[in-house]
Homo-oligomer: A and B are copies of this chain.
Amino acid sequence: MDILLLSNGKIAGNTNIMEFAQSAVIEQIKRTGAKKLVLIPYAVIRSSHDDRVAAVQDSFNSFGLDCEVIGLHQAQDPVKAIEEADGILVSGGNTWVLNKTLHDLGLVGPLRKAVLLDGKPYIGWSAGTNICCPTIRTTNDMPIVTAAVLSSLNFVPFQINPHYLEASVEGHMGETRDERIQEFLEINQHEPVIGIPEGTWLHLLDGKLSYHAANGKKLKLFSYDNEPVYYEQGQDIQFLMSHSC
């Protein structure tokens, strides 16, 4: 498998989605030879799915990659479209709506087959990263739709918190991100959570996990009853893949 899990779509100064990770995207597309990429836009709520497809096509064009981006929402048969695609892209937005739609349309199995068995490249950002965990229980998003199913694609055996940040608004008494993750650990004591700051990503290539940061920011590993541990680009984080859950 060749899976890129980006914390988010753009950081300050970026024009295009995935721009901060463009070298990784270019390498992945060249390595896999993917030409026809299907974009899953279901997380996008506040703008049109077509616009998101166009924006992602612009990204590939600006990266100098000769790829065609096809919106899965335009496909008559989404399962067939996944089968016929060379690679899978999943946009950020609302994780709840995205995950519910994947389940409603019966796409979880086909996506797992495409990525894990057929080795098609996968790039997700934000909500598109959340859904690669066993469940979406570490999303930051508001549960705007009644979606009973929290299980997800389970490409990695740990929970990711994308858009991870330590800063908070001064004087605001709502829980900090760390407090929310600590609550998760109290309830789920055997499941670690990886906070990945904006501008960073995880890469899972043929079972080997690595961490990358366009801005030098660190990954933060939270596990029950332990102080959080920071990891930076280049440090070995392969042990995370052997966690069973």
Residues on A facing B (Cβ under 8 Å): 8-12, 45-46, 93-94, 97, 126, 135-146, 148, 150-151, 163, 165, 167-169, 171-175, 179-184, 186-188, 198
> How long is the Cα–Cα vector from A148 to B180 in the complex, in angstroms?
19
Question: B148, A137: Cβ atoms under 8 Å?
Answer: no
Question: A187, B135: Cβ atoms under 8 Å?
Answer: no
> How long is the Cα–Cα vector from A198 to B171 in the complex, in angstroms?
10
Shortest distance from the beta carbon of A137 to any chain B beta carbon, whole Å: 5
Could you jot down 9 A-B contacts, CB within 8 Å?
A: A8-B174, A11-B173, A97-B187, A135-B146, A139-B142, A140-B142, A146-B150, A163-B174, A174-B198
Question: B141, A180: Cβ atoms under 8 Å?
Answer: yes
> How long is the Cα–Cα vector from A94 to B8 in the complex, in angstroms?
25
| Neighbour of A136 across the interface among B11, B46, B143, CB < 8 A | B143
Question: B45, A187: Cβ atoms under 8 Å?
Answer: yes
Question: B165, A169: Cβ atoms under 8 Å?
Answer: yes
> How long is the Cα–Cα vector from A81 to B136 in the complex, in angstroms?
35
Find chain B residues with CB under 8 A from A46 CB. Answer: 179, 182-183, 186
